Chain A
Amino acid sequence: MELIKVENLTKTYGQGENQVRALDGVSFSVQKGEFVAIIGPSGSGKSTLLHILGAVDRPTSGKVFLDGTDVFAANEEELAIFRRRQVGLIYQFYNLIPVLNVVENMTLPVSLDRRPINQKRLDELIGNLGLRGKEKALPNQLSGGQQQRVSIGRALMNAPAVVLADEPTGNLDSKNSREIVELLRQSNLKYGQTTIIITHDENIALQADRIIAIEDGRITRDEKVGRPRA
């Protein structure tokens, strides 16, 4: 079933001569359970697209529908709730809150939602992410790879409709990179977690079900990838 529908998305910055069209009439849709990789050169607009999908940025024009609902018809408070519950964002620079420990960082969206923490899910995630024993550690006591895992944990904790990852391995060595992508794959396969990941790395892109290429704010390629399923 169709989870996300993007209609004629446009985003422009600046004015007059200096105006930049980051996105120029982008349209596509994503099915539930898909693992999509978005690739493209620097400045192509892929990050902008991801941020709009995560409701962290507003489009200049165009619409985004999640599960049939017009995302940007909501007001600020509703968007905040949307971000909490429906979206899991993973960045290149982990972006953990320095004063919170691993568990607190992972459960941040749930705490903000004032909902009780699903201990079973938390425990499972910690196990899967290889963070056992580090629950009370602060970010500055973790390695880069560990921090990124916590990020992933934070994204997955609320079982969001879609996980958006912006170059999640950009800051990691090859071993950690492989592991991170593997984690995302597992979550996609096991839980049917819809995932959209931006990457430079062709290898990682080939791990996805589908590759969308963006250049100068427009989609230039959108094809399914046949890849071995484990």
Chain B
Amino acid sequence: MNILHRYTRSALLKNRTRTFVTIIGIVLSMALLTAVIEGAYSGQQFLINSEIARSGNWHVAFYGPTEEDIAIIKADPDFVSGETVHEPGSAYETTYRVITKWHDNDNVTDFTYRVLDKISTRSFSIHGTLLMFYGSFGSSTYMSALYGFAAILMGLVAFGSISLIYNSFSISVSERTRQFGILKSIGATNAQIRGAVLYEALILAAIGIPLGLIVGCAGIGITLFCLRDAFAGFMSLGADSGAQIGLVLHPGYLAIAAAVCLVTTLIAAWIPAARAMHVAPMAAIRQQGDVKVTARDVKTSKLTEKLFGFEGSLAAKNFRRNRKGYRATVVSLFMSVVLFISASSFCAYLTDTVDMANSSDSGADLVFWDSRNERDDPEGLLKALTVEGITEGYYADRDGLSVIISPDQAGDSLKSSFIWADLTDDDGSAELTADIAFIQDSFFDALCRKNGIDPAPFYTQPMALVNNEGLFRQYESDGTYRYITLRYFRSFPAEVETLDYDYSGAEEGGENFVPAQVRRTLTVAGELKEIPMGLTRQGFLMAAPYSMMSSIVSGQPSATYFFFKASDHNGAAERMKDVLKSLDLPSGRLQDLMAQKESIRMLVTVVNVFAYGFIILISLIALANVFNTISTSIALRERELAVLLSVGMGHRSFMRMMNYECLIYGFKGLLWGIPVSVLVTFLIYQAAGNVGERGFYLPVHSVLIAVGSVFLVVFLTMLYSTSKLRKRSLVESIKNENL
């Protein structure tokens, strides 16, 4: 057994903390790499499986092919398999679906056109969505953004892990420079010493990489398992689709990740070793190579001394003497701060977006729409659908109606808005399109009473209520938008002219049919302070009783909407589906909005989990880095610190000096970290673009946590290291030549 190898192993065992921290670094790096790669791959597989579950596993579909066509297709070298399907209701009798040996758009397209040249049918369709999930983006920026994002993540992980592992080895080597010097002085060659360092790297990698692989796979596997319902919900597949997200291992990718980690470790071990090799043995023993400071390096201003005393200026000098080492620590802190605050901002703005989208609708849990055609018993259907678990329900027909508002009727905010400017006629009035809901009479009465209005007049003349605070999206020139509120009417009642078209002669009229313009008057009697569920504040909403429909609009809208609130939306949805089936109505038209909202919320949670989980892991790497650097710099300065104590530096003075060093680390990290975080948050705000009146903001609590953590980490490390120092006696430290 090589003596140097034995020496390396004993050195590793002796310095347990350093070894442990380095292994943790390797494990974390490998785990993160694994998690990101496996997460992306499993996600991709899930998307592919979902798409296959949704619309079948095929690359190209040929519509209405003849038998010869199919034979020609089969003969093509790129053909793998095909099946004939019959889609009832489609324009073609048969469809032939083909799987090719390619997974990318270009090659599949080549195959398609090559085949088309030879076959008789000219109708085809390429399964772009599926191919996109395989990785061929074509013109899809969405997927490429996603993969780009994963690539950035991996870059960050690589950066963080390289810096940690490099740091560990760098320190371990500089600690052992003296031993290397002694070894060289008794005849060890450079190659042998390099061998010792690489041997160390291999041992640590052999422990760390497999562990990291297991931890990474386990972590991402568990996460995906816990979130499988959320993902399924997001794809709106329901329980009967069969596609669930799960961990899919790809040995090839994992091997690449392990190789990357190994190479990183070896390089990280090599560089400091190479540096130590160039020092002459004697110099190494005397450790003269260590502190090559120049006067300029350690120059501190008089202000430092005045403000922070002698201890402060000593701390500042100490900070400057080993620029490279300290820079690595500061960069780690900086990175953690930026990542943490950015992730926080990202999650905050994302939640805002979701909340915004959710708040503009007023809370119906289930919606069903029925096309009118022959059925004309909305009351009966409503009763049938009011199953156990439903707390409230009503139906309404919705139609569009042009409403002409004169300038003296219009509210100020409306008149000064871009909408008014666009829609004004010569006489100064604007023609707006209203979305009028004809609400089930009994529900309408209740609605009136809730708004403090007498419903009786609404049944004797054309009369409607209006949502007088409409939400509009105002788009800026850069494509972002924000929500504005407009008041339509200045006062009530307001009598307006309405305009719509009568299509009742369409079938008989044929090609030359021109719908007749119908003008009516409508009294807008009052405001809807509370919007009935299912309807939205967005746009120009009006409401009138169901039975008054024919006096206000021409013709009948094509669909009736049924809105429900539920105490148990899952159970109610199931029962309603049964009712619909028994009535021979399509159950696909029943929408469980509650479920959709839940799944969006779940998705946001998922993103939060991933973002924070990732950040915490990266922060752990940074923490280990910081711990490594600080504790080693203190250990290396043991003798010097002992001298200070022996010359008469008091304990309080000493701690003050160390605390100042901590502060410098912390401040430097934050000095760069906070401004960059603000910048990144601003970029996120721009990208989000839709956060109503809130404008740009910084998640303050995250900033505070970041600042607090930075200082906490640095101080704790300092405390731990100096406590180790104090355990040794002063004399030992000063006289000990084995440092």
Contact = CB atoms under 8 A, between A and B. Distances in A.
A80 B298 contact: no
A95 B650 contact: no
Given A101-B295, A138-B295, A91 B647 contact: no
A57 B731 contact: yes
Nearest to B654: A80
Nearest to A80: B650
B649 A112 contact: yes
A138 B730 CA distance: 25
Interface string A66-92: 000000000011001111110101010
Contact of A80 (B321, B639, B648): B648
Contacts of A89: 646-647
Contact of B647 (A108, A138, A140): A108
Contacts of A100: 298, 314, 317
Max chain A C-beta neighbours (<10 A), residue from B288, B643, B647, B651: B647
A47 interface: yes
A47 B650 CA distance: 23
A77 B650 contact: yes
B293 interface: yes
A140 B731 contact: no
Main secondary structure of the interface of B (DSSP, over half): helix
A154 interface: yes
A220 to B, nearest CB: 23
Interface in A46-72: 47-48, 51, 54, 56-57
Contacts of B293: 98-99, 138, 140
A125 B647 CA distance: 18
B299 to A, nearest CB: 10
A160 to B, nearest CB: 10
A132 interface: no
A99 B648 contact: no
A109 B647 contact: yes
Nearest to A92: B735
A164 to B, nearest CB: 11
A57 B649 contact: no
A81 B292 contact: no
Contacts of A54: 646
Contacts of A51: 731
A111 interface: yes
Contact of A97 (B288, B309, B640, B730): B640
A222 interface: no
Contacts of B647: 83-84, 89, 108-109, 112, 154
A198 to B, nearest CB: 12
A95 B648 contact: no
Contact of A95 (B298, B643, B731): B643
B321 A98 contact: yes
B239 interface: no
Given A56-B731, A138-B295, A99 B650 contact: no
Contacts of B139: none
Interface in B649-670: 649-653
B739 to A, nearest CB: 11
A70 to B, nearest CB: 19
A136 B295 contact: yes
Nearest to B311: A112
Given A51-B731, A56-B730, A56-B731, A99 B314 contact: yes
Contacts of A101: 295
A76 B728 CA distance: 16
Contacts of B320: 99
B648 A57 contact: no
Max chain A C-beta neighbours (<10 A), residue from B646, B648, B652: B648
A115 to B, nearest CB: 11
B291 interface: yes
A95 B639 contact: yes
Contacts of A76: 650-651
Contact of B640 (A47, A82, A98, A138): A98
B318 interface: yes
A113 interface: yes
Contacts of B649: 80, 112
A120 interface: no
Interface string B266-301: 000000000000000000000010011111001000
Nearest to B292: A140
B651 A112 contact: no
A47 B735 contact: yes
Interface in B294-339: 294-295, 298, 309-310, 314, 317-318, 320-321
A114 interface: yes
A133 B734 CA distance: 29
Nearest to B649: A112
Interface in B606-657: 639-640, 643-653
Contact of A111 (B310, B318, B735): B310
A138 B291 CA distance: 11
B713 to A, nearest CB: 25
Contacts of A95: 639-640, 643, 734
Contacts of A138: 293-295, 298
B648 A81 contact: yes
A97 B643 contact: yes
B636 to A, nearest CB: 11
Interface of A: 47-48, 51, 54, 56-57, 76-77, 80-85, 87, 89, 91, 95-101, 108-109, 111-114, 136-138, 140, 154
Given A57-B730, A112-B647, A140-B292, 15 more contacts: A47-B735, A80-B649, A81-B648, A91-B734, A95-B639, A97-B640, A99-B317, A99-B320, A109-B648, A111-B310, A112-B644, A114-B310, A138-B298, A140-B291, A154-B647
18 contacts: A56-B730, A80-B645, A80-B651, A81-B648, A82-B648, A91-B734, A95-B640, A98-B291, A99-B293, A99-B298, A101-B295, A108-B644, A111-B310, A112-B649, A136-B295, A138-B293, A140-B293, A154-B647
7 interchain residue pairs of minimum CB distance: A84-B648, A83-B648, A80-B650, A99-B317, A95-B643, A99-B298, A98-B291
